[in-house]
Amino acid sequence: MDPSLLPVVIFAMIVLGSATLYQSLFGGQRDLDELLSRGKPRPAKIGADPADRLVRWRIRRLRETQSKTAPDQKLPETLTQAGFRGVESVARFQLGRLALTAGGMVSGAAVCVIFGQPWILGAAGGFLAGYVIPTIVIGRLAKKRRRQMTRELPDVLALIVVSLEAGIGVAEVLKLVGRETLRQGQVLGRELTITSAQMAAGMSFEDTLKDFGARTGVDEIRSLAALLIQSEKIGARLAPALRAAADLLNSRRRLAAEEAARKSAIKMLFPLVFFILPAMLLVILGPAVIQLMEVFSNR
């Protein structure tokens, strides 16, 4: 193999693996977004696409495995918290990770062969990179989504409290607030829309809120769901309980902002010492040092 063609081959394999992972993760997400925003179901695509057949085969295998043994819930929970739901998302993620792993192994082995190193080392490194990187990316997406929902929660909770105090029912409040916040592009709007759809489908209030807390993965939402379930069981009014929870969330957010402001001085110390201070010393003392060197050299 010509060594000049190696970067082209590696670039093509990386692009192919990245495109496969992107299509596996985000390919089925567009249909759900359009379904929630427009409310019009789209006809199912039944074709002879090899990728679709492979995804359907993997879905069948996952369902058979789940029916026989206890499934590993960590990956589905992480994908759900990142915004990818259902067994189809798990199948797409696993197939995309498999493609990246195979591409990484071949690329690493080719690089080691070209440079005269043992190919097993490059294959092992490519395998680890292709297997670990998608998991890290999904974890970061889930963490980012949880932070965004935490920021949106106090404002959404205030809207829910106002709607409840106006005399609107809980199911209608969730549907109304979810539709309006989804129209504004908020993540909680989509979750509230799914929750209201579950309640409209006949799911119990307790099971719906438990699923809402587990689906988001945010501790504040889980505690809020537990508070609503307890208030519903004892027959208490939901609006005062939600208002107290909203005040508590606002206090926590204010304390978190104050803590971040106090930490900013310590975080700025390291770039100040290692980057800004040497440049200032160079600008201030540089001409004096040059003049002193010239004086001593003349003497």
pLDDT tens sequence across 207-253: 888 888 888 888 888 888 888 888 878 877 788 878 888 888 888 88
Q: What is the structure's pLDDT at 51? A: 62
Contact 221, 149 (CB under 8 A): yes
Domains (range + CATH), the chain: 3-144 (no CATH), 147-263 (1.20.81)
Q: What is the structure's pLDDT at 46? A: 41
Q: What is the structure's pLDDT at 11? A: 59
Quote the CA–CA distance of 96 and 21 in Å, as a whole number.
4
Q: Which of 41-55, 124-138, 256-270 has the lowest mean pLDDT?
A: 41-55
Asked if residue 191 has pLDDT above 80, the reply is yes
Contact 93, 67 (CB under 8 A): no
What six digits make up the tokens of 248? 């508590």
What single letter denotes the amino acid at residue 140? R
Q: What is the structure's pLDDT at 55? A: 64
Model pLDDT for residues 63-102, shown as the tens digit of each residue: 656 544 444 567 888 888 888 877 777 778 888 888 888 8
In terms of pLDDT, which residue wins out, 96 or 62?
Answer: 96
Mean pLDDT of the chain: 77
Q: What is the structure's pLDDT at 54? A: 63
Radius of gyration of the chain (CA): 27
Asked if residue 278 has pLDDT above 70, the reply is yes
Q: What is the structure's pLDDT at 204? A: 85
Q: What is the structure's pLDDT at 88? A: 77
Asked if residue 60 has pLDDT above 80, the reply is no
Q: What is the structure's pLDDT at 85? A: 79
Cα 121 versus chain centre, distance: 32
Asked if residue 181 has pLDDT above 70, the reply is yes
In terms of pLDDT, which residue wins out, 140 or 171?
Answer: 140
Quote the CA–CA distance of 126 and 121 in Å, as a whole number.
9
